[in-house]
A and B are shown apart, each in its own frame.
Chain A
Amino acid sequence: MKRTMVFGALMAASLTAGISPAAAGSGPIKIVLAEEADLLEPCMATRSNIGRIIMENVSETLTELDVRGKKGVMPRLAEKWEQNTDGSWRFHLRHGVTFSNGTTFDAKDVKHSFERIMSPKNACESRRYFGGMNVAINIVDDYTIDFKVDPAQPILPLLMSLVTIVPEETPLEFIREPIGTGPYKLSNWTPGQQIVLSARGGYWGEKPQVTQATYLFRADPAVRAAMVQTGEADLSPSISQLDATNTKTDFSYLDSETVYLRIDHNIAPLNDVRVRKALNLAIDRQAFVGSLVPDGAVLATALVPPTTLGWNPDVKVFPFDPDGAKKLLAEAKAAGVPVETPITIIARTANFPNVTEIMEAIQAQLQDVGFKVDLKFVEVAEHEGYYSKPFKEGRGPILVAASHDNSKGDPSFTMFFKYASKGTQAGFSDPKVDDLIQRATAAVGDERAKLWSQLIAYLHDDVVADVLLFHMVGFSRVSERLDFKPTIATNSMLQLSEIGIK
C-alpha cells in the first residue's frame, strides 16, 4: 500500500516535470552541476559549489566584476563609490531594493553582512579575503556607507564583489534559507536531489528570461553531458573534454584554473635554480595541448590568467629543450648538487581533468632528461597537508601538482598566498618578492599593474619559482534552446540573468 503511494507520487512528479511550457523567450531551465551544494549560505558563496547557485542569483554584492567585457568593477547594489581623502571607501547604495522577504535594503544590511562574515561565531569563508585587515564601518546615512580599512586597500571595491548582502535580521550562525536581493529566491531544496530557484517579483533590475532554474547534481561528467543531450537538463557548465563532441552545444572556455607544479625550494636539489630551470625545460607543454589538455588551453607564464591585471605578455614560456635541461643538470651535478635524489610529485586524484595521465606524462618527460621522479597520488586532505604550511619536517624534494583559480582580475588574490614568505603555499622566501607584493598590493592604477608585471617576470625568469603548466579550458554543454556562453567566471558563478532562452 505504502509502496504504491510512493510510486504514485513519483509518477505524478515525473509527469509534471515532463511538461515544459513552450513560451518563447522565457521559461524554466535545468542545470546539472558536478558537485552538490551542501549549504546555501550567502557568506560561503565564494566557494564555487555554493556560489554557482546563489551568487548574484539570490544574494547580490555591492560591486561586480565584468568578466565578459573589460569594464572592470561595475556597480551592482552600490551605484557608485569613491575613495575618501583618508583612504577609506564610500559606497552609495542603490535605492528601492528589497530583499525577497520584503524588507528594504539599506546601509544597515551592508554593515551587518560584513560583520557577519567577520564573526567568529561562524565559519564564513569569505572572511579570508579580509585577513590581516582592520575594517571600520561607518553608516553615513541609509544609503551611504564608509569602509575604513587598515592597511589601505586600493582594491576594496573589487573585494566588495565577494561580500554577499543579507538582511540585518540574519543570525550570525549559518542559515539554510538564503534571503537576498537577487532576481531569484530559493523555492525548493531537496537535499541530494535538487535545488530550485524561482524568479521573484519586485526585483530592482531587469526581469530575467529564465523564470525558474532547477539544479541537479551528477558526479560523473559523462552523465552530465548525456543529460543535456537527452534533454533531461539544459545546461551543464562542466563536461569532459572527451564528451564535448557536438559543436552546436559544446563550448570551451578558459576556466581560470591554472595548473602548476609548486616547487619546494627548501630542499636540495630543488634549491638550485639550474635544477628548477631544467624541470621547466624538460616538459613538452605544447605536446599536451590538443591531447591530454584540450585545445584552447593556454601555456601559463604566471599563476594568474591573461585577463588579470598586470599579466606580463613579455614573459615567454620555457621552450621544450631536453638537451638544455640535461646540460643544466650536468652543470648542477658538477657543482655538487645532489640531482640524483628522487623527487616526488604529489598530485591529487581528480584534481583536474586527466590529472593522472598528465602527471604520468610529466613524470616520463622528467625522467627522460635524467631526473629521478616518483609520482604519488593522494586525496584532498593529504594533498592539502603537502601543499600548505607548515610543511612536514624530514620531507624529501617535492613537487606539488596543484590547480589555482583566480578569476577576480587582480593578482593580489594569488601572489601573497603563493609567493610571499608568509604565504601559506609559498615554496620559498625571497625578500624582493615580498617587497614587490607589498608594494603592488598598496598601489593603484598603472603603478599597480606595472609592479605586478615586474613580479610575474621576476618569479618566472629569475626565481624560477615553479613549473607553470596551463591555463585550463573547461567545456560546457548548452542546450540549443538556450543562449548562453560560459565565461572565465562560470566556475564560481553562474548568473541566470545572463542566460537567454531562444
Chain B
Amino acid sequence: MSLSSTDPLIIPEQPFLKRVFGMLWADKFAFVAAIFLIIVLVLAVIGPDWLGELAGKQNLRGRNLAPFDWGREWVYWLGADALGRPLLARIIVAGQNTLMVASGAVVMSAVVGTFLGLIAGFSGPRVSQVIMRLADVIMSFPSLLIAVIVLFLLGSSILNLVAVLAITRIPVYLRTTRAEVLEIKERMFVQAARVMGASSRRILFRHILPVVLPTLTTLATLDFAYVMLAESALSFLGIGIQPPEITWGLMISQGRQYLTNAWWLSFWPGLAIILTTLSLNLLSNWMRIALDPVQRWRLEMKGRKNG
C-alpha cells in the first residue's frame, strides 16, 4: 500500500552534476561534510609540495609554541610542535599520508573482502567453507599482533602498513558481503536474471553487488575511522609510520607526552581525525539515500524546494 506508487512520477532528468549538487544542498550536514572533505582532499594532494618544506622547518627555540598567536605567520596559528615546526602546516602535509594509508587500507580490504564474500556467498559449500575458515583465522588473530608480526617481517613502510591494516579488516567485508549475498541471491530479481540465462558473474556483479554496495559503503566509511585510529595505535606502540614521515596518528602519538604542557600538539591532529570521520559518516548517510533510486526523491525534493 505504498503511497509512492500511486502515480508514476515524472521527474525531469537534470544534468548529473547539478543533480548531485542539488541533492547535497538538500542535506546541509552532508553539504558541509562534502566541502570539508574536498578541502581535506585538495590539501592532501597539494600539501606536501606546497608546505612540505615549511612543515619540516625546525626551530628549537620556538618549541611547543602556543596556538592562537594571530600575530605570527598563519601556519603557526595552531602552534608549533616539539621541534618548533608549524602544526597547521604539518597537519596539512600529514593529511596525504593519513588519507593514503586509510583509504588504501579501506579500499584494499573492501575490494578483497567483498570479492571473497561474493564468492563465498555464491559458490558451493566447499569453497565457501574454505573462505570462511580463512576469515575465522584472521578474525581470531589479534589485529595488533598481525600488524606487529607482518611489519617486523616486511619492515615498516607505508605500503606494508596499508597491507597490514587491510588484512585485519578483510573479514569484516567478507562476512557482511557473504551474509547479504546469501539473502539477496534468493530474491526474485536474481531468479529472474537466472531465467534469462545470466551467468553467475553477471548476477554477482550486475545484480547482487549493486544491492550490497550501500551497506559496504557505510561499512567502509566507518572503517576509515577505525583504520586511522589503528594506524595511530601502531604509532603509539612504535611500529607504525616512522618519522620523518608523518600522519595524524603519528602526530597524536608523538604529542601525547606533551599533553599536560602543550595540549595542542596532540589535540589538532586528533581533531582532524574526528572531523574527517564525522564528515565521512555524514556523507555516507547521505550517499546511502542518494545512491538508492527508491529513496533518492527525498533529497531531490528538498533540493528543489530549497534551491
Binding site for B on A (CB under 8 A): 221-222, 240, 242-243, 245, 287-288, 291-292, 349-350, 354, 356-357, 359-361, 363-364, 375-379, 381-382
Contact = CB atoms under 8 A, between A and B. Distances in A.
Contact of B152 (A349, A364, A381): A381
Interface string B232-255: 000000110011100000000010
Contacts of A356: 243, 254
A436 to B, nearest CB: 37
B270 interface: no
Most buried by B among A287, A292, A377, A381: A377
A376 B242 contact: yes
Contacts of B243: 356, 359-360, 375, 377
B234 to A, nearest CB: 11
Most buried by A among B61, B243, B254: B243
A378 B63 CA distance: 26
Given A349-B239, A357-B82, A357-B254, 20 more contacts: A221-B257, A222-B259, A240-B257, A242-B258, A243-B260, A245-B261, A291-B61, A291-B63, A292-B60, A349-B242, A350-B238, A356-B254, A357-B83, A359-B243, A360-B243, A361-B83, A375-B243, A377-B238, A378-B155, A382-B152
Given A240-B257, A354-B82, A357-B82, A364 B242 contact: no
A301 to B, nearest CB: 22
A221 B83 CA distance: 20
B83 A360 contact: yes
Contacts of A349: 238-239, 242
B156 interface: yes
A377 B61 CA distance: 25
A375 B238 contact: no
Nearest to A241: B257
A294 to B, nearest CB: 13
Nearest to B84: A291
Interface residues of B, number: 21
A364 B257 contact: no
B158 to A, nearest CB: 13
A376 B254 CA distance: 16
24 contacts: A221-B257, A242-B257, A245-B261, A287-B60, A288-B60, A292-B82, A292-B83, A349-B239, A349-B242, A350-B238, A356-B243, A360-B244, A361-B58, A363-B244, A364-B56, A364-B58, A375-B242, A375-B243, A377-B238, A378-B155, A379-B239, A381-B152, A382-B152, A382-B155
- Chain B interface main SS type: loop
Complex A-B, nearest 5 residue pairs according to Cβ-Cβ distance, in ascending order: A349-B238, A377-B242, A291-B60, A356-B243, A357-B82
Contacts of B254: 356-357
A287 B62 CA distance: 12
Interface string B259-284: 11100000000000000000000000
Nearest to B148: A379
A240 B242 CA distance: 21
Contacts of A376: 242
A213 B135 CA distance: 48
Given A287-B60, A288-B60, A349-B242, A377 B257 contact: no
Interface in B136-154: 152
Contacts of A242: 257-258, 260-261
A283 B238 CA distance: 26
Contacts of A364: 56, 58
A364 B85 CA distance: 12
Contacts of B260: 222, 242-243
Contacts of B83: 292, 357, 360-361
Interface in B114-168: 152, 155-156
A357 B242 CA distance: 12
A56 to B, nearest CB: 32
Nearest to A290: B60
A215 B257 CA distance: 23
Nearest to A226: B260
A287 B239 CA distance: 29
A180 B242 CA distance: 44
B133 to A, nearest CB: 31
B59 to A, nearest CB: 10
Given A349-B238, A360-B83, A375 B244 contact: yes
A377 B259 contact: no
Contacts of B257: 221-222, 240, 242
Nearest to A287: B60
A354 B265 CA distance: 14
A292 B61 CA distance: 10
Nearest to A359: B243
Contacts of B155: 378, 382
Contacts of B258: 242
A381 B155 CA distance: 12
Contacts of B152: 379, 381-382
Contacts of A354: 82
A354 B83 CA distance: 10
